[in-house]
Amino acid sequence: MTYLYSAILFSAITAILFAKSTTKGMVAVSMVFVTSLFSGFIAVPALVGNEYQILLAGTIPFGAVSIKIDALSAWFILVINFTMITGVIYGKSYMKPYARQRTNLTMHWLSYILLHISLILICSVQNAMVFLISWEAMALSAFMLVIFESYKADTLKAGINYLIQSHVSILFLMLGFIFVAVKTGSYDFNAIVEFSHQQPVMAGTVLFLSFFIGFAIKAGFVPFHTWLPHAHPVAPSHISGIMSGVVIKIGIYGILRMVLLINADYTTIGYIILFVSIFSGVYGVALAIIQHNLKKLLAYHSIENIGIIGIGIGIGCIGLGTANELMATLGFMGALLHTLNHSLFKSLLFYSAGNVYQSTHTMSIERLGGLIKQMPHTALLFLIGALAICGLPPLNGFISEFLIYGGIYDWLFSADLISLIIVTFSILGLVLIGGLAIFCFTKAFSIVFLGLNRSPSTSSGNTTSSGSESEMSFWQLFPMYMAAALMIFIGLFPSVFLNLLIKPVALFKSDIVFNPNLPQMGTLDSLHTINWVSAGFILFILAVWGIRKLVNQSKVIATEPTWGCGYCLPSSKIQYTANSFVRTYTKLAKPMLCIEKDETEIEGIFPTKKHYDTHPYDNIERILIDIPLIKVAAVREWFVFLQNGHLQRYILYGIIFIASVIVIPVLIDSFLIILQFLNHL
Amino acid sequence: MLSLVLILIASLFFTGIIIRTKSISSGRKGPGIFQPVKDVWRLFKKGSVYSETTSFVFQIAPVVYFSSVAMAILVVPFGSTKGIISFDGDFIFFAYVLALGKFFSIISAMDTGSSFEGMGASREALYSMFAEPAFFILMGSFALLTGHTSFFGIFSTLHLGSYITYALGIMATFVLVMIAMIENSRMPIDDPKTHLELTMVHEVMILDNSGFDLGLILSTGYLKFAMYGTLIANLYIGELSLLYAIPAFFFIQFAFAVSVGIIESFMARYRMSHNPQFIFALSSVSLLIFLGVLLVLGKFV
């Protein structure tokens, strides 16, 4: 099977290299399908309990490399496959306008295939060296994908920012792996298990934290998130979709894998993850609200959702630590299901944003409006995604958030005073995240798709704006409908997915002896009820809709302009803007936010042209990245005299270097000789 | 099933009583108690006018808004009888399904492209978001107290322990009354009878709705009030037999409606910029309830 796959891979690469730019995409689509098919063929049985394990003996230079696909890997591989497939189908149509950039496209599609393969490898290898190499391949290929439009300065800058930060992530991972390898002499993951069982629990916890920071940078936990809101908006939309949908999830996979491997104090790491996650969640959504670039807004929402997943993991770990089986089950199940859910709705939302970008050529939501008339499909899909990401029933987001809520409320019953305060804190955090997400997505959806076009060119206020906006082609909408259909399916039949999650969650619980006397609540049974409640809800809406239709049949239905409270010359400029929608919120949350204002005051008696500009910025990024960079730059200033543009001086530096390379060892030697001589005296 | 019937009955006269109380306290004759219901019926028979700016969102939003509240009503129990739907964690479903209705009412207001409606939508989105934590902490405290996580489990076992729970019940009543006022856009937060669009919240959001849709939105408001009234009644009914529980229910609904009327007659609306503080204060009251529960359970050592 491996040979067959390698042959297909080789021919696909050759085909992409030499094909016409229109067919390159097609080859990539088929290759992603083949990869998904092969990996899915192994992953599906693994998910229901038949682990796949092989040992590649004696590979050079790694020695024996063990490859194991257990239920956890299988779950992630399947999540990755689905979004990679929707991404490549969407991307094939999305890339049509760029058909003239042939070499760029070749690189793009090759990176896409490489990214897919490296993601799957990361999920399946059990060897630290191969893991790190796959991780590097993943980071590099994702970088290549992000900087597709590298001729734009912003894109390149954001891409390099991402590249550097992902290498900081690799640094922390290497630190952890090498530490274990030095202690045990093996790069195999089993060494980590043995090592952490031999050492005191505290050592395991510290080891875990090193890995956690590494993976958290990838996943985008606050305060390690600063690359994310830059990299996602500049990438082509299908890349933003898969970056947000699956690439950052690989960080989540890493954290979960380490929870499995390392024998640590689960309660402590649970608390740490929980705190970081609540903070990420609230911070992510709090900043998302003030963003006026649609893709940047979505990027901040990724941070929020990573926070929700993290809350689930934290609850799960605390469940393991306190031997509370139900809490562990609900926490991990919620986290894993939310991983799938987020990969679906976030990619869907990014694809919708891509459609908007392609038809309007802007991402600034203040310039958009009324797109629902020209792009009804995109609007509907964005609406579905928005409802799901807010965690509203009957869609999928509700199911995973419900599980996590269940875990927290279950914790309530067995908690002592200190943990009760943390429970309250978690509930407040999760509720606030939910509420702010609704606030944010009502803003995003209504400003982009509803009302009238806000851009200055069409301020006359008629409903038909410039007319250049139009719906995307079938193949661009098809993968979006695929994701939406799966989302609705999860919302209506959650039990199917919960059954699939039993095995992955069982992995976490395998080593723990649970306390059977703790109070239990039947949140898992509740989901069977929610099955038919959701279906009933949809039927009920349809019934009311039918009655409304029936009643309105015989009525006079008129169409008039919007009621302007007596004002009869409305223009589209009069509409509420995104900025005004969030104004009260911005005033309230001011201490947390950082908004740069640029305005000119009106002077004189007759008003002249006024100018007012706001740029939301990230406080944490300023404190953690910008200020240290300025400090470093200040130190560098001291040495600026060295770089003075005189060739002669540079040659001098070279001579000094060569001379010192030769002289310093000689000097040291003679120094040693003198020392010896003095010793003999 | 019983709770559904009772809520439907209560919703028929609830808003009428509020209006009647207000008219009596301001010395007017005022309309009859069933005038709001008659208004809805009249609206159901009328044709509609739609703004040319609007899209399908505007058409479907009243339907979803109504359905979400109807769905939320189904999980509300009555004393020792379950609601039609009851499962562990159903209060989470309750809050989220209401949020769905809110989502649609906000985007339908934005769909008209009117600046006034946008203003109302923005405020509604913010205020209802701030009210949410109070509700979750309240239910969490009661879950901790009773060991159940469904409305039915919580309300039917709330008073089995000590009488201190009634004191907690009174505080919870305050929280629920205020949440009901926020969710229904009533007085301290929003003035339903104001005559200036700039100062409205909920009323301005439905400026462009007419006919059947407006009727649906109004009747949703009535149902919502009765639903919160039932939650409040549940705080006291507990294990009472139906013979006493049903009169008690109607008494509590009546008292709730009268107090809403009195609040609206004698209080001025808060300044818009002070509303968030007020709503935050609500969360602190529910945190107080949480501390009360901790005291009752003896978690402080």
The answer to whether the bond into A61 is cis (omega within 30° of 0) is yes
Where does a domain end: A199, A220, A250? A199
Helix (H, G, I), strand (E, B) or coil at A594: strand
Asked, for residue A537, whether it belongs to a domain, the answer is yes
- Give the mean pLDDT of A48-74: 83
Asked, for residue A274, whether it belongs to a domain, the answer is no
Contacts of A317 (CB under 8 A, 6+ apart): A259, A266, A267, A269, A270, A273, A328, A331
Question: Residue B161 — very low, low, confident or very high, per pLDDT cuts 50/70/90?
Answer: low
The Cα A179–Cα B97 span in angstroms is 50
Query: Which residues in B lie closer than 8 A to residue A413 (C-beta atoms)?
Result: 143-144, 147
CA max distance for chain B: 66
Same domain as A648, residue A513: no
Report the gap between the CA of B233 and the closest CA in chain A (Å). Answer: 24
The Cα A322–Cα A414 span in angstroms is 9
Same domain as A670, residue A538: no
User: Is residue A460's pLDDT more than 60?
Assistant: no
CB contact (8 A) between residue A562 and residue B63: no
Residue A538 CB coordination number (10 Å): 15
Asked, for residue A218, whether it belongs to a domain, the answer is no
Closest chain A CA to residue B214? A548
User: Is residue A114's pLDDT more than 80?
Assistant: yes
With beta carbons less than 8 A apart as the criterion, state whether A421 and B299 touch. no
The Cα B158–Cα B168 span in angstroms is 10
User: Is residue A497's pLDDT more than 50?
Assistant: yes
Asked, for residue A291, whether it belongs to a domain, the answer is no
Predicted confidence at residue A465, as pLDDT, reads: 44
- Give the mean pLDDT of A354-382: 90
Tokens read off for A504 = 């992955």
Where does a domain end: A151, A175, A199? A199
Where does a domain end: A184, A199, A214? A199
Q: In this complex, which of A393, A412, A434 lies closest to B140 when CB atoms are compared?
A: A412
Same domain as A419, residue A518: yes
Predicted confidence at residue A603, as pLDDT, reads: 77
The Cα A371–Cα A446 span in angstroms is 10
CB contact (8 A) between residue B276 and residue A584: yes
What would the pLDDT profile of B127-154 be if each residue is shown by its tens digit? Answer: 888 888 899 999 989 888 888 888 888 8
Look up the ipTM and state it: 0.94
The Cα A420–Cα A395 span in angstroms is 30
Task: Output the CA–CA distances (angstroms, integers) from residue A414 to A231, A272, A407, B293, in the order listed.
Answer: 42, 19, 11, 15
Question: Residue A462 — very low, low, confident or very high, per pLDDT cuts 50/70/90?
Answer: very low
- Give the mean pLDDT of B289-298: 85
- Give the mean pLDDT of A189-214: 88
Tokens read off for A580 = 């005004």
Query: Which residues in A lie closer than 8 A to residue B213 (C-beta atoms)?
Result: 548
Residue A102 CB coordination number (10 Å): 13
Q: Which residues pair with B49 in a beta bridge?
A: A558
Q: Which of A42, A47, A249, A14 is nearest to A113 (CA)?
A: A14
- Give the mean pLDDT of A113-131: 93
The Cα B262–Cα B276 span in angstroms is 23
- The rounded mean pLDDT for chain B is 87
**Parent domain of A507:** 325-552+571-592
What would the pLDDT profile of B231-250 be if each residue is shown by its tens digit? Answer: 999 888 877 788 888 999 99
Same domain as A662, residue A588: no
Task: Output the CA–CA distances (angstroms, integers) from residue A488 to A117, A284, A673, B261, in the order listed.
Answer: 29, 25, 80, 43
The Cα A337–Cα A403 span in angstroms is 9
First vs last Cα of chain A: how many Å apart? 75
| Owner of token pair 């070749």 | A106
Predicted confidence at residue A523, as pLDDT, reads: 66
What would the pLDDT profile of A149-168 be if each residue is shown by its tens digit? Answer: 889 999 999 999 999 999 99
Q: What angle do CA B200, B203, B208 make, to 5 degrees?
A: 120
Phi, psi values for residue A614, rounded to 5°: -125, 140
What would the pLDDT profile of A27-38 be if each residue is shown by its tens digit? Answer: 999 999 999 999
Give, to the nearest 10 degrees, the angle between helix B115-146 and helix A396-414: 40
Which range has the worst mean pLDDT, A213-217, A277-281, B159-163?
Answer: B159-163
Question: Residue A463 — very low, low, confident or very high, per pLDDT cuts 50/70/90?
Answer: very low
With beta carbons less than 8 A apart as the criterion, state whether A125 and A134 touch. yes
Predicted confidence at residue B301, as pLDDT, reads: 61
What would the pLDDT profile of B22-31 be if each residue is shown by its tens digit? Answer: 999 999 988 8
Report the gap between the CA of A285 and the closest CA in chain B (Å). Answer: 13
Residue A573 CB coordination number (10 Å): 14
User: Is residue A489's pLDDT more than 60?
Assistant: yes
Q: What angle do CA A529, A487, B121 make, to 5 degrees?
A: 90
User: Is residue A427's pLDDT more than 70?
Assistant: yes
Closest chain A CA to residue B135? A431
The Cα A66–Cα A24 span in angstroms is 34
CB contact (8 A) between residue A446 and residue B207: no
Amino acid at B137: I
Q: Mutate which of B49, B86, B90, B114 to test chain A, going by most A C-beta atoms within 10 A?
A: B114
CB contact (8 A) between residue B122 and residue A552: no
Asked, for residue A296, whether it belongs to a domain, the answer is no
User: Is residue A464's pLDDT more than 50?
Assistant: no
Predicted confidence at residue A468, as pLDDT, reads: 62
With beta carbons less than 8 A apart as the criterion, state whether B132 and B286 touch. no
CA dihedral B97, B101, B106, B111 (to 10 degrees): 130
Residue A681 CB coordination number (10 Å): 5
Same domain as A529, residue A434: yes
Q: Mutate which of A422, A537, A573 to test chain B, going by most B C-beta atoms within 10 A?
A: A537
- Tell me the DSSP string of B224-246: HHHHHHHHHHHHHHTT--HHHHH
Query: Which residues in A lie closer than 8 A to residue B197 (C-beta atoms)?
Result: 565
Predicted confidence at residue A518, as pLDDT, reads: 67
Same domain as A661, residue A578: no
Q: Which residues pair with B290 in a beta bridge?
A: none
Sign of CA dihedral A109, A114, A120, A122: negative
User: Is residue B269's pLDDT more than 70?
Assistant: yes
Same domain as A177, residue A83: yes
Predicted confidence at residue B204, as pLDDT, reads: 83
Q: In this complex, which of B53, B60, B283 lies closest to A463 when CB atoms are compared?
A: B53
User: Is residue A353's pLDDT more than 70?
Assistant: yes
Give, to the nearest 10 degrees, the angle between helix A474-492 and helix A396-414: 30
Predicted confidence at residue A306, as pLDDT, reads: 95
With beta carbons less than 8 A apart as the criterion, state whether B75 and B151 touch. yes
Same domain as A668, residue A537: no
Tokens read off for B186 = 């009533």
What would the pLDDT profile of B183-240 be if each residue is shown by its tens digit? Answer: 888 877 777 777 777 777 778 888 888 889 999 999 999 999 999 999 999 888 877 7
Q: How many domains does chain A have?
A: 3
Count CA within 13 A, CB hemisphere, residue A524: 17
Asked, for residue A331, whether it belongs to a domain, the answer is yes
Phi, psi values for residue A364, rounded to 5°: -80, 115
Which range has the worst mean pLDDT, A127-131, A644-648, A657-661, B94-98?
Answer: A644-648
Same domain as A503, residue A575: yes
Predicted confidence at residue A522, as pLDDT, reads: 65
Higher-scoring residue by pLDDT: A484, B243: A484
Instruction: Classify residue A395 by its DSSP letter.
Output: S
Query: Which residues in A lie closer than 8 A to residue B124 (C-beta atoms)?
Result: none
- The rounded mean pLDDT for chain A is 88
Q: Which of A364, A135, A326, A348 is nearest to A244 (CA)?
A: A348
CB contact (8 A) between residue A435 and residue B129: yes
Tokens read off for A3 = 């040979």
Same domain as A525, residue A377: yes
Q: Which of A436, A444, A411, A446 is nearest to A425 (CA)?
A: A411
Asked, for residue A635, whether it belongs to a domain, the answer is no
Contacts of A545 (CB under 8 A, 6+ apart): B60, B63
Same domain as A663, residue A581: no
Same domain as A652, residue A545: no
What would the pLDDT profile of B73-129 be if each residue is shown by its tens digit? Answer: 999 998 888 888 888 888 999 999 999 999 999 999 999 888 888 888 888 888 888
Question: Residue A457 — very low, low, confident or very high, per pLDDT cuts 50/70/90?
Answer: low
User: Is residue A2's pLDDT more than 60?
Assistant: yes
Q: In this complex, which of B48, B63, B137 lies closest to A541 when CB atoms are compared?
A: B63
Task: Output the CA–CA distances (angstroms, integers) from residue A452 to A379, B51, B61, in the order listed.
Answer: 14, 12, 18
User: Is residue A512's pLDDT more than 70?
Assistant: yes
Amino acid at B194: T
Task: Output the CA–CA distances (angstroms, integers) from residue A311 to A254, A277, A389, in the order listed.
Answer: 16, 5, 16
The Cα B84–Cα B152 span in angstroms is 11
Predicted confidence at residue A521, as pLDDT, reads: 64
Asked, for residue A616, whether it belongs to a domain, the answer is no
What would the pLDDT profile of A63-95 be if each residue is shown by its tens digit? Answer: 788 889 999 999 999 999 999 999 999 999 999
